[in-house]
């Protein structure tokens, strides 16, 4: 665990992380988790959030067709050719599906922000809170 005068944070695999947190951040992770395993993962993350805690995650938006197509090509190269990434397969969900999934996990205040302008990828930032 790294320490900052006012901020404590930890990084690691899901099964290694313990404790409650003000925020949990996932960056380019969810799309590598099979659809059938996502609700369980999100349930574990919600339980690790303190009341009012924030879940933040960055993913690729499949509804941006051209940018999304480039991402699929890149992932194919990284997975099949270069063997660089962990996980099995690719599973992208659009904003509506993610909003529904987070609501099922008990999260509220779902927000979406496009952050891919000027990039080759359709980066999207999602946030939601555990109810206080």
CA dihedral 104, 14, 30, 110 (to 10 degrees): 40
More confident residue, 35 or 120: 35
Buried b (16+ CB within 10 A) or exposed e, 67-82: beeebeeebeeebeee
Examine the pLDDT at 69 and tell me if it is beyond 90.
no
CA distance 127 to 99: 10
pLDDT band of residue 1 (cuts 50, 70, 90) is very low
Q: What is the CATH number of the domain that holds 90?
A: 3.40.50.150
- List the domain range (segments joined by +) for residue 55: 2-129
Out of 41-45, 83-87, 105-109, pick the least confident.
83-87
Examine the pLDDT at 100 and tell me if it is beyond 80.
yes
CA distance 31 to 60: 8
The whole-chain average pLDDT of the chain stands at 83
* The predicted structure's pLDDT at residue 66: 78
Q: Rounded mean pLDDT of 91-105?
A: 93
- What's the total number of domains in the chain? 1
- Tell me the per-residue pLDDT of 53-65, one tens digit each, with 9 for 90 and over: 999 999 988 888 8
More confident residue, 97 or 79: 97
pTM above 0.75, yes or no: yes
User: H or E segment at 45?
Assistant: helix 35-48
């Amino acid at each position: 665990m790294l320490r900052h005068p006012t901020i404590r944070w930890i990084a690691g695999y899901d099964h290694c992380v313990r404790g409650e947190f003000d925020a949990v951040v996932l960056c380019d992770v969810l799309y590598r988790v099979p659809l059938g395993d996502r609700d369980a993962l999100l349930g574990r993350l919600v339980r690790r959030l303190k009341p009012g805690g924030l879940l933040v995650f960055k993913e690729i938006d499949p509804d941006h067709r051209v940018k999304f197509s480039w991402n699929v090509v890149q992932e194919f190269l990284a997975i099949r050719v270069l063997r660089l990434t962990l996980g099995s397969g690719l599973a992208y969900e659009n904003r509506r599906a993610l909003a529904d999934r987070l609501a099922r996990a008990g999260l509220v205040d779902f927000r979406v922000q496009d952050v891919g302008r000027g990039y080759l990828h359709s980066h999207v930032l999602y946030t939601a809170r555990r109810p206080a």
